[in-house]
Structures are given as structure tokens and as C-alpha cells.
Amino acid sequence: MANYRRGRINDEMQKEVAQILREVKDPRVSGAFVSVIAAEVTPDLKYAKIYYSYLNHSDPKEVARGLKAASGYIRREISTRMNLRITPELTFIRDNSIAHGAHIAQLLNGITFSEDFGEETSEEKSDD
């Protein structure tokens, strides 16, 4: 299978799973504001890794259990919405890149520069 086709399937899978997650009635999933970061389908289309992040400060284990419990419903909905010969088995993987990026941004915002940094001293000015 061509690599560009897999890329299109990954993008479509990400969009569809994101829409389906809004319809899930499990409070562990709907209350956590889960967002799909990426989807990665294997070349044989039998397995798919769904990378997710969530906004609510819920227990990460509870959110993972909720997604695992809803995976059958999500897979069934994907089979009806996407025109694939094989509907992949879903594996949900928590993605910490957004939280990690926010932490780095917070650290960078906390850096202070001294006033004399970058200014010439009086000796350097007299040499010119």
C-alpha cells in the first residue's frame, strides 16, 4: 500500500475518532474532554494506535479504562463511517506532548535577564 494512502487513512481515522468520542456517553470519557492528537494505522490495517490527550485533571487510569470500555463502540462506528475492508483494532495511548510543551513554555517565561547583559563596559567603548 502506498504511503500517501496510509497518511490519508490516518487523517480520516483521527477525524472520525474525534467525532465519535464526542458521542460517547461514558462519564470517564465525556467528562475528561478527550481530544485525539494523532492516529497511526499499521500497513495491513489490522491495528490502529490512537494518541489522545485530555483537559480535565481526572485520574489518567480512569480515562484509559473508559476509552478501553468504549473501544468496541468506537470501532463499530468507524466501520459504518469509513469505507475500509478491515476495521482496525484500536489501542489508545496517552500523549503527554501538550502538557510537556506547556511546562517548557512556563519555564521559558520564568527566565529573567539581567540589565547589564549585552551592554558594553566603559573600557570597551574607549578602545573604539
User: 3-98: which CATH topology?
Assistant: GMP Synthetase; Chain A, domain 3 (3.30.300)
Between CA 8 and CA 26 the distance in angstroms is 29
* Mean pLDDT within 52-69: 87
Of the candidates 29, 27, 45, the residue with the CA atom closest to the CA atom of residue 94? 29
Look at residue 127 in the predicted model and tell me its pLDDT.
Answer: 56
pLDDT value of residue 37: 93
Q: The pTM is what?
A: 0.75
In angstroms, rounded to a whole number, what is the distance separating the alpha carbons of residues 43 and 110?
A: 44
Distance CA 54, CA 37 (A): 10
Confidence class of residue 117 from pLDDT cuts 50, 70 and 90? low
Of 19, 9, 24, 11, the C-alpha closest to 72 is 24
